[in-house]
Structure 1
Amino acid sequence: METNDEGADMSYADVNGINLYYEIHGTGRPLILLHGGLGSGEMFAPDVLAAFTAGRQVILPDLQGHGRTADVDRPFDFHEMARDIAALIDHLSLDRPDVAGFSMGGAVALRLAIIAPEKVGKVVSASAGIRRGATYPEILEQQAQVGAASVEFMKDTPMYESYQRVAPRPEDFPRLLDKIGAAMAVDYDLTDEVRGLEVPTLIMGADADMVPPSHFVEIFALLDGGLRDGGWDGSDRPKGGHALAIVPGTTHYNLVDSPLFATLSLAFLDNDAAA
Protein backbone atom coordinates (compact mmCIF):
# COMPACT_ATOMS: atom_id res chain seq x y z
CA MET A 1 0.00 0.00 0.00
CA GLU A 2 1.35 3.42 -1.00
CA THR A 3 0.73 6.85 0.51
CA ASN A 4 -0.23 9.94 -1.50
CA ASP A 5 0.73 13.57 -0.93
CA GLU A 6 -2.21 14.04 1.45
CA GLY A 7 -1.06 11.17 3.63
CA ALA A 8 -3.83 8.81 2.53
CA ASP A 9 -3.14 5.14 1.91
CA MET A 10 -3.72 4.07 -1.70
CA SER A 11 -4.25 0.55 -2.98
CA TYR A 12 -6.17 -1.76 -5.33
CA ALA A 13 -8.45 -4.65 -4.45
CA ASP A 14 -9.18 -7.50 -6.86
CA VAL A 15 -12.86 -7.95 -6.07
CA ASN A 16 -15.89 -9.17 -8.02
CA GLY A 17 -13.96 -9.29 -11.29
CA ILE A 18 -12.61 -5.75 -11.07
CA ASN A 19 -9.37 -4.16 -9.85
CA LEU A 20 -10.91 -1.54 -7.63
CA TYR A 21 -8.83 1.49 -6.60
CA TYR A 22 -9.41 2.91 -3.13
CA GLU A 23 -7.89 5.32 -0.64
CA ILE A 24 -8.07 5.31 3.14
CA HIS A 25 -8.15 8.66 4.94
CA GLY A 26 -8.15 9.25 8.68
CA THR A 27 -8.96 6.93 11.55
CA GLY A 28 -12.05 5.96 13.48
CA ARG A 29 -15.35 4.32 12.65
CA PRO A 30 -15.27 3.27 8.95
CA LEU A 31 -17.26 5.16 6.34
CA ILE A 32 -17.24 4.26 2.66
CA LEU A 33 -17.79 7.40 0.57
CA LEU A 34 -18.99 6.92 -3.02
CA HIS A 35 -18.61 9.56 -5.75
CA GLY A 36 -20.96 10.50 -8.56
CA GLY A 37 -20.90 9.69 -12.25
CA LEU A 38 -17.94 10.95 -14.33
CA GLY A 39 -16.14 11.67 -11.07
CA SER A 40 -13.85 9.84 -8.66
CA GLY A 41 -12.93 10.06 -5.00
CA GLU A 42 -11.44 13.44 -5.88
CA MET A 43 -15.00 14.73 -6.34
CA PHE A 44 -15.21 15.38 -2.60
CA ALA A 45 -13.70 18.80 -1.95
CA PRO A 46 -10.91 18.98 0.67
CA ASP A 47 -13.09 20.76 3.25
CA VAL A 48 -15.92 18.26 2.78
CA LEU A 49 -13.55 15.30 3.06
CA ALA A 50 -11.92 16.89 6.11
CA ALA A 51 -15.30 17.11 7.82
CA PHE A 52 -15.80 13.37 7.32
CA THR A 53 -12.27 12.41 8.36
CA ALA A 54 -12.32 14.51 11.54
CA GLY A 55 -13.71 11.53 13.42
CA ARG A 56 -13.92 8.77 10.83
CA GLN A 57 -11.81 6.43 8.76
CA VAL A 58 -12.99 7.21 5.24
CA ILE A 59 -12.60 4.67 2.45
CA LEU A 60 -12.79 6.34 -0.97
CA PRO A 61 -13.20 3.88 -3.86
CA ASP A 62 -13.19 4.83 -7.55
CA LEU A 63 -16.15 2.97 -9.03
CA GLN A 64 -16.00 0.88 -12.21
CA GLY A 65 -14.45 2.77 -15.12
CA HIS A 66 -13.99 5.93 -13.04
CA GLY A 67 -10.86 7.60 -11.73
CA ARG A 68 -8.03 5.12 -11.24
CA THR A 69 -10.25 2.04 -11.61
CA ALA A 70 -10.00 0.67 -15.14
CA ASP A 71 -13.18 -0.44 -16.87
CA VAL A 72 -14.01 -4.11 -17.38
CA ASP A 73 -16.11 -5.92 -19.93
CA ARG A 74 -19.50 -5.50 -18.34
CA PRO A 75 -22.19 -2.79 -18.50
CA PHE A 76 -22.55 -0.09 -15.89
CA ASP A 77 -25.03 -1.71 -13.55
CA PHE A 78 -25.55 -0.13 -10.15
CA HIS A 79 -26.40 -3.47 -8.54
CA GLU A 80 -23.10 -4.89 -9.84
CA MET A 81 -21.23 -1.83 -8.56
CA ALA A 82 -22.89 -2.44 -5.19
CA ARG A 83 -21.53 -5.99 -5.29
CA ASP A 84 -18.07 -4.48 -5.90
CA ILE A 85 -18.42 -2.50 -2.68
CA ALA A 86 -19.78 -5.49 -0.78
CA ALA A 87 -16.69 -7.42 -1.90
CA LEU A 88 -14.44 -4.50 -0.89
CA ILE A 89 -15.99 -4.61 2.59
CA ASP A 90 -15.02 -8.27 2.82
CA HIS A 91 -11.57 -7.61 1.36
CA LEU A 92 -10.86 -4.98 4.04
CA SER A 93 -12.50 -7.07 6.79
CA LEU A 94 -14.74 -4.14 7.72
CA ASP A 95 -17.43 -4.72 10.34
CA ARG A 96 -20.65 -3.18 9.02
CA PRO A 97 -19.21 0.15 7.86
CA ASP A 98 -21.49 3.06 7.12
CA VAL A 99 -21.83 4.01 3.45
CA ALA A 100 -22.60 7.43 1.97
CA GLY A 101 -22.91 8.20 -1.70
CA PHE A 102 -23.81 11.07 -4.00
CA SER A 103 -25.74 10.74 -7.30
CA MET A 104 -24.45 7.54 -8.93
CA GLY A 105 -22.72 6.79 -5.64
CA GLY A 106 -26.01 7.34 -3.82
CA ALA A 107 -27.69 4.89 -6.18
CA VAL A 108 -24.95 2.33 -5.49
CA ALA A 109 -25.17 2.90 -1.72
CA LEU A 110 -28.92 2.33 -1.74
CA ARG A 111 -28.59 -0.85 -3.79
CA LEU A 112 -25.90 -2.09 -1.42
CA ALA A 113 -28.37 -1.69 1.46
CA ILE A 114 -30.91 -3.67 -0.58
CA ILE A 115 -28.70 -6.58 -1.68
CA ALA A 116 -26.37 -6.89 1.33
CA PRO A 117 -28.02 -5.35 4.42
CA GLU A 118 -25.94 -7.54 6.70
CA LYS A 119 -22.72 -5.87 5.52
CA VAL A 120 -23.54 -2.23 6.28
CA GLY A 121 -24.39 -0.13 9.32
CA LYS A 122 -26.18 2.96 8.01
CA VAL A 123 -26.55 4.45 4.55
CA VAL A 124 -26.77 7.99 3.17
CA SER A 125 -28.19 8.13 -0.34
CA ALA A 126 -27.92 11.65 -1.74
CA SER A 127 -29.42 12.91 -5.01
CA ALA A 128 -30.48 9.45 -6.18
CA GLY A 129 -34.02 8.68 -7.28
CA ILE A 130 -35.60 5.25 -7.21
CA ARG A 131 -37.70 5.55 -10.41
CA ARG A 132 -36.38 6.73 -13.76
CA GLY A 133 -39.78 8.27 -14.47
CA ALA A 134 -39.36 10.64 -11.52
CA THR A 135 -36.57 12.48 -13.36
CA TYR A 136 -37.61 15.72 -15.04
CA PRO A 137 -38.36 15.13 -18.77
CA GLU A 138 -35.84 17.73 -19.91
CA ILE A 139 -33.11 15.96 -17.91
CA LEU A 140 -34.01 12.62 -19.52
CA GLU A 141 -33.65 14.33 -22.91
CA GLN A 142 -30.20 15.60 -21.94
CA GLN A 143 -29.17 12.18 -20.65
CA ALA A 144 -30.17 10.65 -23.98
CA GLN A 145 -27.44 12.77 -25.62
CA VAL A 146 -24.64 11.38 -23.41
CA GLY A 147 -22.24 9.20 -25.39
CA ALA A 148 -18.94 9.11 -27.19
CA ALA A 149 -20.13 11.76 -29.63
CA SER A 150 -20.25 14.30 -26.79
CA VAL A 151 -16.53 14.04 -25.94
CA GLU A 152 -15.69 17.38 -27.59
CA PHE A 153 -18.26 19.14 -25.40
CA MET A 154 -16.66 17.64 -22.30
CA LYS A 155 -13.05 18.60 -22.94
CA ASP A 156 -13.22 21.84 -20.96
CA THR A 157 -14.83 20.23 -17.92
CA PRO A 158 -13.19 19.22 -14.61
CA MET A 159 -14.45 15.66 -15.16
CA TYR A 160 -12.51 15.32 -18.42
CA GLU A 161 -9.37 16.90 -16.94
CA SER A 162 -9.44 14.60 -13.93
CA TYR A 163 -9.99 11.50 -16.07
CA GLN A 164 -7.11 12.37 -18.38
CA ARG A 165 -4.85 12.91 -15.38
CA VAL A 166 -5.56 9.78 -13.34
CA ALA A 167 -7.27 7.11 -15.46
CA PRO A 168 -5.20 4.01 -16.31
CA ARG A 169 -6.38 4.38 -19.92
CA PRO A 170 -7.22 8.04 -20.62
CA GLU A 171 -8.31 7.09 -24.15
CA ASP A 172 -11.31 5.26 -22.62
CA PHE A 173 -13.23 8.47 -21.90
CA PRO A 174 -15.54 8.04 -24.93
CA ARG A 175 -16.27 4.49 -23.72
CA LEU A 176 -17.10 5.87 -20.26
CA LEU A 177 -19.61 8.29 -21.79
CA ASP A 178 -21.17 5.50 -23.87
CA LYS A 179 -21.57 3.29 -20.83
CA ILE A 180 -23.02 6.03 -18.63
CA GLY A 181 -25.41 7.01 -21.43
CA ALA A 182 -26.55 3.40 -21.80
CA ALA A 183 -26.99 3.03 -18.03
CA MET A 184 -29.12 6.17 -17.80
CA ALA A 185 -31.39 4.88 -20.59
CA VAL A 186 -32.36 1.77 -18.62
CA ASP A 187 -35.75 1.97 -16.94
CA TYR A 188 -35.89 1.08 -13.25
CA ASP A 189 -38.22 1.19 -10.28
CA LEU A 190 -36.96 0.22 -6.82
CA THR A 191 -40.25 0.85 -5.03
CA ASP A 192 -40.72 -2.73 -3.87
CA GLU A 193 -37.07 -3.13 -2.87
CA VAL A 194 -37.00 0.10 -0.85
CA ARG A 195 -40.24 -0.56 0.99
CA GLY A 196 -39.28 -2.15 4.29
CA LEU A 197 -35.54 -1.58 3.85
CA GLU A 198 -33.77 -2.85 6.97
CA VAL A 199 -30.68 -0.62 6.92
CA PRO A 200 -31.22 2.80 8.57
CA THR A 201 -31.08 5.18 5.63
CA LEU A 202 -30.91 8.94 5.20
CA ILE A 203 -32.55 10.05 1.97
CA MET A 204 -31.00 13.37 0.98
CA GLY A 205 -31.74 15.63 -1.96
CA ALA A 206 -31.16 19.15 -3.19
CA ASP A 207 -34.17 21.44 -3.16
CA ALA A 208 -33.58 21.90 -6.92
CA ASP A 209 -32.43 18.41 -7.89
CA MET A 210 -32.91 16.28 -11.05
CA VAL A 211 -36.12 15.00 -9.45
CA PRO A 212 -38.65 17.07 -7.52
CA PRO A 213 -38.36 17.20 -3.73
CA SER A 214 -41.65 15.30 -3.62
CA HIS A 215 -39.83 12.25 -4.97
CA PHE A 216 -37.50 12.18 -1.98
CA VAL A 217 -40.59 12.50 0.23
CA GLU A 218 -42.08 9.56 -1.68
CA ILE A 219 -38.99 7.45 -0.91
CA PHE A 220 -39.17 8.50 2.74
CA ALA A 221 -42.81 7.40 2.87
CA LEU A 222 -41.81 3.95 1.61
CA LEU A 223 -39.47 3.84 4.61
CA ASP A 224 -42.34 4.58 7.02
CA GLY A 225 -41.47 8.27 7.12
CA GLY A 226 -43.72 11.32 6.98
CA LEU A 227 -46.87 9.33 7.71
CA ARG A 228 -47.61 10.69 11.20
CA ASP A 229 -46.37 13.05 13.87
CA GLY A 230 -43.12 11.77 15.35
CA GLY A 231 -44.14 12.42 18.94
CA TRP A 232 -42.60 14.73 21.51
CA ASP A 233 -40.00 12.08 22.34
CA GLY A 234 -39.49 10.88 18.78
CA SER A 235 -40.99 7.49 19.54
CA ASP A 236 -43.24 7.64 16.46
CA ARG A 237 -40.48 8.43 14.00
CA PRO A 238 -39.91 5.88 11.18
CA LYS A 239 -39.50 2.43 12.71
CA GLY A 240 -36.27 1.62 10.89
CA GLY A 241 -34.41 4.73 12.01
CA HIS A 242 -34.68 6.31 8.55
CA ALA A 243 -34.49 10.06 7.94
CA LEU A 244 -35.01 12.68 5.23
CA ALA A 245 -33.05 15.84 4.41
CA ILE A 246 -33.82 18.37 1.69
CA VAL A 247 -30.77 20.62 1.43
CA PRO A 248 -31.69 24.28 0.86
CA GLY A 249 -30.10 26.40 -1.84
CA THR A 250 -28.50 23.48 -3.68
CA THR A 251 -28.83 21.64 -6.98
CA HIS A 252 -27.84 18.19 -8.20
CA TYR A 253 -24.58 19.72 -9.36
CA ASN A 254 -23.37 21.33 -6.14
CA LEU A 255 -25.02 19.46 -3.24
CA VAL A 256 -21.85 17.40 -2.81
CA ASP A 257 -19.83 20.62 -2.39
CA SER A 258 -22.12 22.05 0.29
CA PRO A 259 -20.86 21.82 3.88
CA LEU A 260 -24.37 20.62 4.70
CA PHE A 261 -23.70 17.38 2.82
CA ALA A 262 -21.14 16.32 5.41
CA THR A 263 -22.90 17.97 8.37
CA LEU A 264 -26.25 16.29 7.73
CA SER A 265 -24.67 12.96 6.82
CA LEU A 266 -22.61 12.85 10.02
CA ALA A 267 -25.50 14.01 12.19
CA PHE A 268 -27.43 10.98 10.95
CA LEU A 269 -24.56 8.49 10.95
CA ASP A 270 -23.29 9.46 14.40
CA ASN A 271 -26.72 9.43 16.04
CA ASP A 272 -26.78 6.05 17.73
CA ALA A 273 -30.38 6.61 18.73
CA ALA A 274 -31.32 6.45 15.02
CA ALA A 275 -29.82 2.99 14.57
Structure 2
Amino acid sequence: MKNLLKTRNLFKLISLLTIMFIASQSNGQQIRSSSGYAPVNGLKVYYEVYGEGKPVVLLHGAFMTIAGNWGQLIPELSKTRKVIAIELQGHGHTPYSDRKLSHATLASDVEGVLDYLKIDSADVVGYSMGGSVAYKFAIQSPKRLRKLVIISSTYKSSGWLPEINNAFKSWKPEFFTNTPMKAAYDAVAPDKTKWTKFIDQMIAFAPEAFDFGDSNIEKISAPVLIISGDNDGLDKIELAKTYKLLGGAVSADLGARPKSQLAIVPAQGHVSLMMQTQTIFGYLDSFLK
Protein backbone atom coordinates (compact mmCIF):
# COMPACT_ATOMS: atom_id res chain seq x y z
CA MET A 1 0.00 0.00 0.00
CA LYS A 2 2.83 2.44 0.89
CA ASN A 3 4.55 1.80 -2.44
CA LEU A 4 1.25 2.35 -4.26
CA LEU A 5 0.75 5.68 -2.48
CA LYS A 6 4.31 6.74 -3.32
CA THR A 7 3.73 5.91 -6.97
CA ARG A 8 0.45 7.84 -7.02
CA ASN A 9 2.13 10.87 -5.42
CA LEU A 10 4.96 10.76 -7.96
CA PHE A 11 2.48 10.63 -10.82
CA LYS A 12 0.68 13.58 -9.24
CA LEU A 13 3.96 15.51 -9.22
CA ILE A 14 4.57 14.67 -12.87
CA SER A 15 1.02 15.79 -13.69
CA LEU A 16 1.63 19.13 -11.95
CA LEU A 17 4.87 19.58 -13.86
CA THR A 18 2.91 18.86 -17.04
CA ILE A 19 0.50 21.69 -16.22
CA MET A 20 3.45 23.97 -15.49
CA PHE A 21 4.99 23.21 -18.89
CA ILE A 22 1.76 23.92 -20.74
CA ALA A 23 1.07 27.16 -18.86
CA SER A 24 4.64 28.44 -19.24
CA GLN A 25 4.81 27.84 -22.98
CA SER A 26 1.43 29.40 -23.74
CA ASN A 27 2.90 32.91 -23.73
CA GLY A 28 5.05 33.72 -26.74
CA GLN A 29 5.22 37.49 -26.26
CA GLN A 30 8.87 37.68 -25.23
CA ILE A 31 11.33 38.80 -27.93
CA ARG A 32 14.66 37.05 -27.80
CA SER A 33 17.69 39.29 -28.33
CA SER A 34 20.11 36.44 -28.95
CA SER A 35 20.88 32.83 -28.17
CA GLY A 36 23.78 30.47 -28.58
CA TYR A 37 26.19 28.03 -27.02
CA ALA A 38 28.99 28.96 -24.64
CA PRO A 39 32.01 26.61 -24.70
CA VAL A 40 32.43 25.93 -20.98
CA ASN A 41 34.30 23.18 -19.13
CA GLY A 42 34.21 20.87 -22.14
CA LEU A 43 30.48 21.44 -22.70
CA LYS A 44 28.44 23.63 -25.01
CA VAL A 45 26.06 25.34 -22.59
CA TYR A 46 22.98 26.85 -24.23
CA TYR A 47 21.75 30.31 -23.27
CA GLU A 48 19.10 32.83 -24.35
CA VAL A 49 19.25 36.59 -23.86
CA TYR A 50 16.24 38.91 -23.66
CA GLY A 51 15.90 42.65 -23.11
CA GLU A 52 18.38 45.31 -22.02
CA GLY A 53 19.57 46.59 -18.66
CA LYS A 54 21.31 45.12 -15.65
CA PRO A 55 21.86 41.38 -16.16
CA VAL A 56 19.83 38.77 -14.31
CA VAL A 57 20.58 35.06 -14.74
CA LEU A 58 17.80 32.44 -14.58
CA LEU A 59 18.56 28.85 -13.57
CA HIS A 60 15.77 26.30 -14.10
CA GLY A 61 14.67 23.32 -12.07
CA ALA A 62 15.35 19.63 -12.69
CA PHE A 63 14.12 18.18 -16.01
CA MET A 64 13.04 21.66 -17.11
CA THR A 65 13.85 23.95 -20.04
CA ILE A 66 14.02 27.74 -20.26
CA ALA A 67 10.53 27.90 -21.78
CA GLY A 68 9.09 25.32 -19.39
CA ASN A 69 10.35 27.07 -16.27
CA TRP A 70 10.53 30.76 -17.18
CA GLY A 71 8.18 31.21 -20.16
CA GLN A 72 5.73 33.40 -18.25
CA LEU A 73 8.30 35.37 -16.24
CA ILE A 74 10.78 36.37 -18.95
CA PRO A 75 8.40 38.84 -20.67
CA GLU A 76 7.98 40.74 -17.41
CA LEU A 77 11.63 40.74 -16.36
CA SER A 78 12.95 41.62 -19.82
CA LYS A 79 11.00 44.89 -19.90
CA THR A 80 13.67 46.47 -17.69
CA ARG A 81 16.49 43.92 -17.44
CA LYS A 82 18.86 41.92 -19.59
CA VAL A 83 17.65 38.39 -18.90
CA ILE A 84 20.14 35.56 -19.42
CA ALA A 85 18.47 32.17 -19.19
CA ILE A 86 20.72 29.09 -19.10
CA GLU A 87 19.95 25.43 -19.74
CA LEU A 88 22.08 23.25 -17.48
CA GLN A 89 23.98 20.11 -18.47
CA GLY A 90 21.81 17.70 -20.45
CA HIS A 91 18.72 19.92 -20.24
CA GLY A 92 16.95 21.34 -23.28
CA HIS A 93 19.38 22.50 -25.96
CA THR A 94 22.48 21.77 -23.86
CA PRO A 95 23.87 18.39 -24.95
CA TYR A 96 23.95 15.37 -22.69
CA SER A 97 27.38 14.69 -21.16
CA ASP A 98 28.80 11.71 -19.30
CA ARG A 99 30.43 14.19 -16.92
CA LYS A 100 29.20 13.44 -13.41
CA LEU A 101 26.57 15.90 -12.30
CA SER A 102 27.43 18.03 -9.29
CA HIS A 103 26.31 21.40 -8.00
CA ALA A 104 29.93 22.59 -8.08
CA THR A 105 30.44 21.85 -11.78
CA LEU A 106 27.04 23.28 -12.73
CA ALA A 107 27.82 26.48 -10.81
CA SER A 108 31.17 26.63 -12.59
CA ASP A 109 29.31 26.32 -15.90
CA VAL A 110 27.21 29.35 -14.98
CA GLU A 111 30.33 31.40 -14.31
CA GLY A 112 31.72 30.21 -17.63
CA VAL A 113 28.66 31.51 -19.47
CA LEU A 114 29.13 34.90 -17.80
CA ASP A 115 32.77 34.87 -18.92
CA TYR A 116 31.72 34.04 -22.48
CA LEU A 117 29.15 36.85 -22.53
CA LYS A 118 31.67 39.23 -20.92
CA ILE A 119 29.48 39.95 -17.92
CA ASP A 120 31.39 40.87 -14.77
CA SER A 121 28.54 40.36 -12.30
CA ALA A 122 24.82 39.67 -12.28
CA ASP A 123 21.79 38.98 -10.16
CA VAL A 124 21.07 35.25 -10.09
CA VAL A 125 17.65 33.61 -9.74
CA GLY A 126 17.35 29.85 -9.26
CA TYR A 127 14.34 27.59 -8.89
CA SER A 128 14.45 24.13 -7.26
CA MET A 129 17.62 22.39 -8.51
CA GLY A 130 18.60 25.69 -10.10
CA GLY A 131 18.31 27.28 -6.67
CA SER A 132 20.80 24.83 -5.22
CA VAL A 133 23.15 25.62 -8.12
CA ALA A 134 22.62 29.33 -7.41
CA TYR A 135 23.62 28.83 -3.75
CA LYS A 136 26.77 27.05 -4.92
CA PHE A 137 27.49 29.86 -7.39
CA ALA A 138 27.22 32.39 -4.55
CA ILE A 139 29.79 30.41 -2.55
CA GLN A 140 32.20 29.71 -5.42
CA SER A 141 31.96 33.03 -7.27
CA PRO A 142 31.01 35.72 -4.73
CA LYS A 143 32.55 38.56 -6.76
CA ARG A 144 30.32 37.72 -9.74
CA LEU A 145 27.10 37.99 -7.70
CA ARG A 146 25.07 41.14 -7.05
CA LYS A 147 21.87 39.74 -5.58
CA LEU A 148 20.62 36.19 -5.14
CA VAL A 149 17.05 34.89 -5.39
CA ILE A 150 16.27 31.35 -4.28
CA ILE A 151 12.84 29.97 -5.20
CA SER A 152 11.70 26.78 -3.43
CA SER A 153 15.18 25.38 -2.91
CA THR A 154 17.85 24.60 -0.34
CA TYR A 155 21.62 24.36 0.06
CA LYS A 156 21.44 20.96 1.77
CA SER A 157 19.41 17.84 1.19
CA SER A 158 18.16 17.91 4.79
CA GLY A 159 16.45 21.19 3.91
CA TRP A 160 13.77 19.08 2.21
CA LEU A 161 11.17 17.20 4.23
CA PRO A 162 12.00 13.50 4.68
CA GLU A 163 9.17 12.46 2.35
CA ILE A 164 10.69 14.53 -0.45
CA ASN A 165 14.09 12.91 -0.06
CA ASN A 166 12.37 9.52 0.00
CA ALA A 167 10.48 10.41 -3.17
CA PHE A 168 13.75 11.19 -4.95
CA LYS A 169 14.83 7.61 -4.26
CA SER A 170 11.62 6.28 -5.82
CA TRP A 171 11.90 7.99 -9.21
CA LYS A 172 11.85 5.65 -12.19
CA PRO A 173 12.46 6.38 -15.90
CA GLU A 174 8.96 5.29 -16.89
CA PHE A 175 7.43 8.12 -14.81
CA PHE A 176 8.68 10.56 -17.44
CA THR A 177 7.53 8.66 -20.53
CA ASN A 178 4.90 10.37 -22.71
CA THR A 179 5.02 13.63 -20.76
CA PRO A 180 5.34 17.20 -22.06
CA MET A 181 8.85 17.16 -20.55
CA LYS A 182 9.78 14.35 -22.93
CA ALA A 183 8.11 16.20 -25.83
CA ALA A 184 9.98 19.40 -24.94
CA TYR A 185 13.25 17.47 -24.83
CA ASP A 186 12.61 15.87 -28.21
CA ALA A 187 11.81 19.29 -29.70
CA VAL A 188 15.09 20.97 -28.79
CA ALA A 189 17.72 18.43 -27.65
CA PRO A 190 20.72 18.18 -30.01
CA ASP A 191 20.48 14.40 -29.77
CA LYS A 192 17.10 13.16 -28.57
CA THR A 193 18.41 9.57 -28.41
CA LYS A 194 20.18 10.64 -25.18
CA TRP A 195 16.87 10.96 -23.29
CA THR A 196 17.23 7.65 -21.44
CA LYS A 197 20.82 8.42 -20.40
CA PHE A 198 19.79 11.91 -19.31
CA ILE A 199 16.92 10.60 -17.18
CA ASP A 200 19.11 7.89 -15.64
CA GLN A 201 21.74 10.51 -14.82
CA MET A 202 19.20 12.81 -13.18
CA ILE A 203 17.58 9.98 -11.23
CA ALA A 204 21.01 9.07 -9.87
CA PHE A 205 21.79 12.70 -9.02
CA ALA A 206 18.52 13.63 -7.29
CA PRO A 207 18.84 11.46 -4.14
CA GLU A 208 22.53 12.24 -3.51
CA ALA A 209 22.99 13.89 -0.12
CA PHE A 210 24.60 17.34 -0.20
CA ASP A 211 25.38 20.14 2.22
CA PHE A 212 27.22 23.32 1.25
CA GLY A 213 27.81 24.22 4.89
CA ASP A 214 26.13 26.67 7.26
CA SER A 215 29.36 28.65 7.54
CA ASN A 216 29.51 29.16 3.77
CA ILE A 217 25.90 30.37 3.64
CA GLU A 218 26.62 32.74 6.51
CA LYS A 219 29.49 34.25 4.50
CA ILE A 220 27.31 35.20 1.52
CA SER A 221 27.62 38.99 1.45
CA ALA A 222 25.14 39.63 -1.37
CA PRO A 223 21.50 40.32 -0.43
CA VAL A 224 19.38 37.17 -0.73
CA LEU A 225 15.65 36.82 -1.34
CA ILE A 226 14.18 33.43 -0.43
CA ILE A 227 10.76 32.63 -1.87
CA SER A 228 8.97 29.51 -0.67
CA GLY A 229 5.51 28.03 -0.87
CA ASP A 230 4.04 27.29 2.53
CA ASN A 231 3.71 23.62 1.54
CA ASP A 232 6.41 23.24 -1.11
CA GLY A 233 8.29 20.36 0.51
CA LEU A 234 10.92 22.50 2.23
CA ASP A 235 11.43 22.00 5.96
CA LYS A 236 10.31 25.40 7.27
CA ILE A 237 12.35 25.05 10.46
CA GLU A 238 15.48 24.62 8.36
CA LEU A 239 14.35 27.46 6.10
CA ALA A 240 14.06 29.78 9.10
CA LYS A 241 17.58 28.77 10.14
CA THR A 242 18.81 29.58 6.65
CA TYR A 243 17.23 33.01 6.78
CA LYS A 244 18.86 33.64 10.14
CA LEU A 245 22.27 32.66 8.71
CA LEU A 246 21.70 35.30 6.04
CA GLY A 247 21.12 37.99 8.67
CA GLY A 248 17.35 37.76 8.93
CA ALA A 249 14.92 36.78 11.68
CA VAL A 250 15.54 39.95 13.71
CA SER A 251 13.29 42.74 14.98
CA ALA A 252 13.63 45.46 12.35
CA ASP A 253 11.68 47.80 14.63
CA LEU A 254 14.52 47.71 17.15
CA GLY A 255 17.45 47.81 14.76
CA ALA A 256 18.59 47.81 11.16
CA ARG A 257 16.46 46.07 8.56
CA PRO A 258 18.22 42.97 7.16
CA LYS A 259 19.52 43.17 3.59
CA SER A 260 18.06 39.72 2.88
CA GLN A 261 14.37 38.87 2.68
CA LEU A 262 12.08 35.86 3.17
CA ALA A 263 8.71 35.42 1.46
CA ILE A 264 6.36 32.54 2.28
CA VAL A 265 3.56 32.36 -0.28
CA PRO A 266 0.37 30.83 1.15
CA ALA A 267 -1.51 27.88 -0.35
CA GLN A 268 1.33 26.92 -2.70
CA GLY A 269 3.27 23.73 -3.35
CA HIS A 270 6.59 23.30 -5.11
CA VAL A 271 5.18 23.37 -8.64
CA SER A 272 2.18 25.67 -8.17
CA LEU A 273 4.43 28.32 -6.59
CA MET A 274 6.33 28.79 -9.84
CA MET A 275 3.05 29.27 -11.69
CA GLN A 276 2.19 32.38 -9.64
CA THR A 277 3.83 34.68 -12.19
CA GLN A 278 2.61 38.03 -10.90
CA THR A 279 3.37 37.15 -7.28
CA ILE A 280 6.88 35.94 -8.09
CA PHE A 281 7.54 38.91 -10.37
CA GLY A 282 6.31 41.33 -7.72
CA TYR A 283 8.81 40.00 -5.20
CA LEU A 284 11.62 39.92 -7.78
CA ASP A 285 10.96 43.40 -9.10
CA SER A 286 10.90 44.97 -5.65
CA PHE A 287 13.97 43.10 -4.40
CA LEU A 288 16.17 43.49 -7.49
CA LYS A 289 15.51 47.24 -7.61
Query: Which residue in 2 is equivalent to 1:252?
Result: 270
Question: Which residue identity is paired with 1:122?
Answer: K
Q: Supply the AA of the counterpart residue of 1:25.
A: Y
Q: Counterpart of 2:116?
A: 91
Distance 2:31 2:76 in 1: 16
The answer to whether structure 1 residue 127 and structure 2 residue 145 are counterparts is no
Structure 2 match to 1:236: 256
Q: Secondary structure at the match of 2:286?
A: helix
Could you say what secondary structure the match of 2:271 adopts? coil
Q: Deviations over 1:78-119 (max 9, x none)?
A: 111110011111111113111101001111111111110001
1:83-162 paired onto structure 2 within 5 Å: 83-146=108-171, 150-162=172-184
Q: Which amino acid aligns with 1:182?
A: A
Distance 1:86 1:164, change over 3 A: same
Amino acid at match of 1:237: R
User: Distance between the aligned counterparts of 1:44 and 1:187, measured in 2?
Assistant: 24
Native 8 Å contact 2:173 2:200 kept in 1:
no
Tell me the distance in 1 between the aligned counterparts of 2:122 and 2:283: 18
Does the C-alpha gap of structure 1 residues 45 and 193 become closer, same or farther in structure 2, counting only changes over 3 Å?
closer
Matched, 1:182 2:204: yes
CA contact (8 A) 1:129 1:215 kept: no
| CA–CA separation in structure 2 for the residues paired with 1:203 and 1:179 | 28
Q: Percent identity?
A: 31
Task: Look up the match of 2:193.
Answer: 171
Structure 1 stretches of 4+ moved >3 Å: 4-7, 44-47
Corresponding residue for residue 69 of structure 1: 94
- Answer with 18-27 or 155-164: which moved more: 155-164
State the superposition RMSD in angstroms.
1.8
- What's the CA shift for 1:26? 1.1
1:139–1:210 contact (8 Å) kept in structure 2: yes
Greater alpha carbon shift after TM alignment, 159-168 vs 188-197: 188-197
- Alignment correspondent of 1:28: 53
- Shift of residue 206 of structure 1? 1.1
TM-score when normalising by structure 2: 0.84
Partners of 1:178 and 1:27 in 2: CA distance: 38
Q: Which is worse superposed, 80-89 or 189-198? A: 189-198
Query: What is the aligned partner in structure 2 of residue 56 from structure 1?
Result: 81
The Cα of 1:45 is off from its aligned counterpart by 4.8
Q: Mind listing any 5+ residue stretches in structure 1 that lack a counterpart?
A: 271-275
Which letter maps to 1:263? G
- SS of the aligned residue for 1:61 comes to strand
After the TM superposition, which of the residue ranges 85-94 and 132-141 deviates more from structure 2?
Answer: 132-141
Matched letter for residue 187 of structure 1: A
Task: State the TM-score, normalizing by the size of structure 1.
Answer: 0.88
Decide whether the 8 Å contact of 2:30 with 2:75 is kept in 1.
Answer: no
1:172/1:127 CA distance change after superposition, 3 Å: same
Change (3 A) 1:99 1:65: same
Q: How many residues align?
A: 259
More helix by share: 2
Which of 197, 202, 217 aligns to 2:225? It is 202
**CA–CA distance in structure 2, aligned partners of residues 75 and 156 of structure 1:** 26
- The answer to whether the 8 A contact 1:205-1:213 is kept is no
Unpaired segments ≥5 residues, structure 2? 1-27
